Amino acid sequence: MNIYEYFKDRETYIPEVRVKKYMFQLLQALDCMHKNRIFHRDIKPENILLKGDDIKLADFGSCKGFGGRDKLHTEYVSTRWYRSPECLLTKGSYDYKMDIWGVGCVFYEILSLQPLFPGKNEIDQVHLIHKILGTPSMRIFQRFKKTPNKEFEFKFKAFKGTGLR
């Protein structure tokens, strides 16, 4: 089964020691991929297979190599709820670090049994991220302006951020 099937109908939390084991294995898989200059681009619970205490990263259909001359990637990648801000706000200006963002979202979901950023669309997704993490400074948004960005202007309501607690 995939890890989503394992936790979707649970009424009790998964023991932390087991979650640590899963996350360690997932990060080992990503480390191997990244060392070989490949990024997954679609980290989500449905792409993490579970058998006993062992997990395996699956669905390599969106994988791409990195480190070459091609700095822009396809715009639509990753399932929205696990998509990093640079994927949401630019037209393909992202890199392997988006996998780490996805891992963080999966980690939260496995611990809490609910998604961290269940956005209804891309704008709502960015809004949810800002509500929890805070709205980035204009200095951060200026970095996005140097990349090919989406059609919307970087004007977001300012949130201090609630944190994950």
Neighbours of 14 (CB within 10 A): 16
**Which of the residues 9, 42, 70, 124 is marked catalytic?**
42
- In the block, tokens 């209804």 appear at 120
Residue identified by tokens 């070459």 is: 68
DSSP conformation letters of the chain: -BHHHHHTT-SSPPPHHHHHHHHHHHHHHHHHHHHTTEE-S---GGGEEEETTEEEE---TT-EE-SSS-----S--S-GGG--HHHHHBSS---THHHHHHHHHHHHHHHHSS-S---SSHHHHHHHHHHHH-PPPHHHHHHHHTS-B-SS-S-----------
- Structure tokens belonging to residue 116: 């961290």
Tokens encoding 95: 């890199």
31 is catalytic: no
Active site residues: 42
